A = this chain, B = another copy of it.
Amino acid sequence: MTTTRKDNGRPRADARTGSSGGARRRAKGSTALASERREHLVKLAAELFAEKGYQATTVRNIADEAGILSGSLYHHFDSKESIVDEILTSFFDELATANQAALAKGGDPREVLSELVRICFGTLIPHRAAIMVLQNDWNYLKQFDRFDYLAKAEGETERLWVGQIERGQETGLFREDIDPKLTYRMIRDTIWVTVRWFQPEGRLDAEGLADHYIKVLFDGISRHR
């Protein structure tokens, strides 16, 4: 996972070259340093993608930011797509891991759901770019086979959430008159979409946001006696 790679770990559908492709080894020394440079570039790209959008960010923009020529980027990455892929993969991997942990920890559905919400809000700062890209450019990216895995990952997450909501209904914790799937989607969207206006330096930090949302989510905005 931390080796120097150009193909982002996923198999490429590179039909044209065909022929040999035999010798692409590399395993030597400076993996760590190479990775550092690479990660730096990814970070620069991520910021630009978040700011201007994936499509509107040119590879020259990225290269300029890094102080190199656009062609030089291709020493580190296969393509513009593979940069964004790396950003998204990193996000999804971390999210999946955290979700699994929350589930493993156990607790009643309300506790689990709270934890899941907190996890989501918790990614807002470290994975701001990934979430921004997903919000703004997913519609564009989804057309490429390369990103099919994202839809799959989202499907699994949905199952996880919906499962908890249903369990909550069965155990009498949650109202019966809400649709689990619909509710999940609204929760999900409500959280992620905050990335558009959320400012870490603002009045509320991510945790504060989470608390606020959990409050509203479970009990609504009405005053209950």
Contact = CB atoms under 8 A, between A and B. Distances in A.
Interface string A128-166: 000010011101100110000000000000000000010
A23 interface: yes
A183 B194 CA distance: 11
A97 interface: no
A100 interface: no
B178 A215 contact: yes
Contacts of A193: 189-190, 193
Contacts of A53: 55, 137, 139-140
A141 B65 CA distance: 22
A92 interface: no
Report copies per complex: 4
B64 A221 contact: no
A30 interface: no
A207 B206 CA distance: 32
Contacts of A51: 19-20
Contacts of A209: 182
A222 to B, nearest CB: 5
A175 B20 CA distance: 43
A33 interface: no
5 contacts: A172-B223, A183-B221, A186-B190, A186-B194, A189-B196
